Structure 1
């Protein structure tokens, strides 16, 4: 993974099938473009900044000649995406690769013998077999090359090629388990395919053609130049609603091209997933929502996953590490723990190319996988499971960010959490990386993070983005075996985490009723309203959270992975009655995320199992500092509902 981008110019694109009220552009209108917001090189620079192992680009020219389409591919680096000449369409592909799998290094875009082109940002954890020495993008390229090119899907007709043993592109992409965003040119059908996974774990932004800029653009991240120029435009018209980029809604899209009256035209269609399980996850329906009185009583009387004493702690740890779960644990808790363990295992299996790159270092000094670590329930569960899945010779970096030094709630819980992890896994070397920052010293960094979170534009998004960006950077201090100076101050060791994989706890709160609004909905409308609120959270997580979070982590040359959003974990949680997931009649730290608290107890994490929910912007105290800077005080910020306030440009100066 790392990033992908595409610029399509010289094509009259019809968007009416995805925007009901959209009036299509005529090809002649493309010659009346205003000044472009940014150039192709800006996209390339934004992806290059992420520190990829390789970065490449290709230009595909489509020329019309007597109603025929001729294509030629050039290997040179693309210099500029200046507007196309008459009777010519241009497609510029960029692929930035942070390679975590495969024996042989690759450079994207990938090109095969049939002149198909692929840029892929993702991981394949199931659905398509990827060997331990294989690369995801190469395997996917080979699989897509076998697909039919009848274009029946693009025309709303059922594909008839399955009888010949061929799959459609929709079928292949619907099969993938794992996060992905993709752009694929199928040369035989003259069709461009693009999209992102059904949950939205990989960022993909889109600029749909407009009268001001008739290009179709896709990118994993927005260039800073486009953000700056749009901000100027907003300032002139007094609007905060205009944005050049938007999050591409999850799904599979196609642009099938043709020539009409000597000009290139095409219409974009969105396709239904062909995988029944994916459709169920998207609909996010739970069969058992409202309990009968006897079911609720039985659930509340179920035994916990162990008692808080050293004997049961040791027994549970030994049982879970060996793959066995104590018989006293409910079936639901067993299923969730098993699904989570497999999810973490899929996301942390080390590969040959990583080992080849790092073979010159002592193995015991390597920390290939890190955890975004607050010391809270979700990150503690991920750390404990990572300990089970990762060879004991490797270190584990626990990345913790604070805007209030040792006094931030997340720093306090992180220090307590690492002590608990060392108790259950004393042979592992746990490294708590303490990343301290002051918001007043991050002026240029704040402006940069603004481009990363774009199109998100609220103070809450910015606060979360800055905290994630700093944490993923891993530039902090270690205080192991600490010494003191003459004034009694701790002496730390400067440390920068080299982990390229970061486990993030996103999705736990949405699926297990971890937010305060879930408790409010439950009190006002009982179980049905709670279920609807959780469903809403899951169906909008791609737009509100995941794209933003992916961009902020990837900017550091790191890959964020979300074990709680594994397809099998989501399915497992949906199969469990809602009253076993949460019991919101109980206080915070007990009834919210009830099932995950029971999982934590089975893992021996008794202190973490009772910690209340704290969002990163509050736990790190960046929200407090932001409120003081931008609103004068916390009280004033609360009165203004600061979290949802759109960022004012002058506040970034």
Structure 2
């Protein structure tokens, strides 16, 4: 996965003193006291090991460009008064194209672009004015981006110096932000936090300063150095700053504008409104008759909606695993028996089995798939495919150093549940384990050490949130019925960028891999929202049957009879990470449960 960063600093220009800034105690000279550019480079290089580039621009308050420089820009110290410095960093994981590329990309106009991508069509291009990319005459998928626009393009007025940055509507790619504080007055964006600043030690409380970027930032807060950037497109006008010092989170510095998505269909997905929530008597009667038909025929009932979901998911997987669009140099380096360009991260449950079966349909049979679970059933439905089960066998008790590293990756997430999930994802994404040749039907039936070379990982994120897979969904339904269930599911989807996606992306991408999320494809989300809620889940039925009902029907259509009956098992429990963590940090599972360990914050951080 690519890694991107921006360090924006400047004397009295960007950090313009004002009443609010003075109240916040921010001194424009307090630059370089936080994370350094070298630290950012080192953290980003793990996400993008194929190339690392840097570009530095200095912009005067009147809009003049003083020149483009290399990136030995240190921490940003030494910027002249009245000059804004922008330091762009781009680390690339080469996954597509015929020729190597590097970032940042610089156009003849002087515009600079760094981007973090996914193989699917981009929200940044599809849902926002596409003039941002005409400088290069290219169309690229983007899920997080930084762009300095230097010349007139489409609707941007002539001579505008505008800094654009954004994150796709569901936060599939991590983008952290450091808002200026009295400790470090720079504005910084980064895909990941360097270990030395993945802590709350630099937190400061500031009151009464409102952010123009997002209403979530308007409350008084004890903030850490980094925060998750809320999904959306933002811009900063770099020209004429000497005339207008405007408000950001902790000081009146410059105005950060948040822009609406230009495609109304995306707004509908973000609002996550389902038309059919509460069933009528006729709906329930129809459902009862279908259940009776199922019991009498002893066959699994597959609804029309299940076929629609299956079709949408198959297209989503196909779009994200098209090898013709993968970087061919990676494939030519491998021997035929090592060709496994795609891997799937498993917790052993329904969602991952569906993805594996769909991937089998979308990927040429000459390629192996590295998979973690359900091996026998996958071999049954696709005996020609050479499945490779990679068993990741590492105990948390032996992972002190790795645990500290993962804590830096999950930051600003900071609970033991976040850590347990992060460790499980980080270990699985590394793909370093054992293969049992006898289980995988290999000629040599021995058990041998193996490290996956797959750079693309399919992950089932978003399935539980959209299909009522969590235990709390069953509780909400029991206490408040269909309306309460719908409200809880909407809350889960709308906060998935903050609770899940940034954390998961950082842990997986740390190995130089790109996670792709078929369940969060826009067309999949749209399809699931068009289905009546009572066809999505039937939570008065037993666990393993009524929860994620629609996906169980999809699994049945794929021939995954056993997977269709599997209850949910979270990755931190399926991998036994949570049990080891509870013993290490609380003494026992029982003590951890009594302390509600999942929501307990971690107060010792990596330094």
TM-score, normalization by structure 2: 0.87
Aligned length: 568
Q: 1:111 corresponds to which residue?
A: 106
Tell me by how many angstroms 1:261 deviates: 4.9
Unaligned runs of 5+ in 1: 131-135, 148-171, 235-239, 314-327, 400-413, 484-489
Note if contact 1:12-1:26 (Cα within 8 Å) is conserved in structure 2.
no
**2:306 counterpart (311, 326, 333):** 333
User: 1:189-228 alignment to 2 at 5 Å?
Assistant: 189-228=160-199
Note if contact 2:63-2:238 (Cα within 8 Å) is conserved in structure 1.
no
Return the alpha-carbon distance in structure 2 between the equivalents of residues 303 and 573 of structure 1. Answer: 21
Does 2:108 match 1:145? no
Structure 1 residues 586 and 329: alpha-carbon distance in aligned structure 2, compared to 1, 3 A threshold:
closer
Structure 1 residues 306 and 7: alpha-carbon distance in aligned structure 2, compared to 1, 3 A threshold:
farther
Return the alpha-carbon distance in structure 2 between the equivalents of residues 455 and 285 of structure 1. Answer: 29
Note if contact 1:435-1:477 (Cα within 8 Å) is conserved in structure 2.
yes
Tell me by how many angstroms 1:223 deviates: 0.5
Tell me by how many angstroms 1:2 deviates: 1.6
Return the alpha-carbon distance in structure 2 between the equivalents of residues 432 and 107 of structure 1. Answer: 34
Note if contact 1:506-1:565 (Cα within 8 Å) is conserved in structure 2.
yes
Q: 1:379 corresponds to which residue?
A: 352
Q: 2:236 corresponds to which residue?
A: 255
Unaligned runs of 5+ in 2: 152-159, 205-220, 246-252
Tell me by how many angstroms 1:296 deviates: 2.0
Q: What CA deviation, in whole Å up to 9, does each residue of 1:388-441 have, x standing for no partner?
A: 000000000014xxxxxxxxxxxxxx2xx1100000000000111000111111
Note if contact 2:173-2:502 (Cα within 8 Å) is conserved in structure 1.
yes
User: 1:2-81 alignment to 2 at 5 Å?
Assistant: 2-10=2-10, 23-24=20-21, 30-33=27-30, 36-64=33-61, 67=62, 69-75=64-70, 77-81=72-76
Does 2:424 match 1:467? yes
Return the alpha-carbon distance in structure 2 between the equivalents of residues 649 and 367 of structure 1. Answer: 39
Tell me by how many angstroms 1:279 deviates: 0.1
Q: What CA deviation, in whole Å up to 9, does each residue of 1:302-329 have, x standing for no partner?
A: 379999999x99xxxxxxxxxxxxxx84
Note if contact 1:344-1:386 (Cα within 8 Å) is conserved in structure 2.
yes
Tell me by how many angstroms 1:40 deviates: 1.1
Note if contact 2:31-2:76 (Cα within 8 Å) is conserved in structure 1.
no
Tell me by how many angstroms 1:621 deviates: 1.4
Structure 1 residues 560 and 294: alpha-carbon distance in aligned structure 2, compared to 1, 3 A threshold:
same
**1:120 counterpart (115, 118, 140):** 115
Tell me by how many angstroms 1:541 deviates: 0.3
**2:265 counterpart (277, 280, 286):** 277
Structure 1 residues 143 and 595: alpha-carbon distance in aligned structure 2, compared to 1, 3 A threshold:
same
SS at match of 2:120: coil
TM-score, normalization by structure 1: 0.81
Does 2:92 match 1:97? yes
Note if contact 1:41-1:79 (Cα within 8 Å) is conserved in structure 2.
yes
Tell me by how many angstroms 1:291 deviates: 0.2
Note if contact 1:87-1:263 (Cα within 8 Å) is conserved in structure 2.
no
Structure 1 residues 548 and 640: alpha-carbon distance in aligned structure 2, compared to 1, 3 A threshold:
same
Return the alpha-carbon distance in structure 1 between the equivalents of residues 41 and 124 of structure 2. Answer: 31
Q: What CA deviation, in whole Å up to 9, does each residue of 1:351-396 have, x standing for no partner?
A: 3653333324333430000000233100000000000000000000
Structure 1 residues 300 and 213: alpha-carbon distance in aligned structure 2, compared to 1, 3 A threshold:
farther
Note if contact 2:396-2:581 (Cα within 8 Å) is conserved in structure 1.
yes
**1:244 counterpart (225, 230, 241):** 225
Return the alpha-carbon distance in structure 2 between the equivalents of residues 491 and 526 of structure 1. Answer: 53
Note if contact 1:14-1:267 (Cα within 8 Å) is conserved in structure 2.
no
Tell me by how many angstroms 1:84 deviates: 1.8
Return the alpha-carbon distance in structure 1 between the equivalents of residues 580 and 24 of structure 2. Answer: 51
Note if contact 1:12-1:27 (Cα within 8 Å) is conserved in structure 2.
no
Note if contact 2:582-2:588 (Cα within 8 Å) is conserved in structure 1.
yes
Q: 1:450 corresponds to which residue?
A: 407
Note if contact 1:122-1:179 (Cα within 8 Å) is conserved in structure 2.
yes
Q: What CA deviation, in whole Å up to 9, does each residue of 1:183-220 have, x standing for no partner?
A: 00001210100010001000000011122211000000
Return the alpha-carbon distance in structure 1 between the equivalents of residues 182 and 75 of structure 2. Answer: 21
Return the alpha-carbon distance in structure 1 between the equivalents of residues 292 and 342 of structure 2. Answer: 31
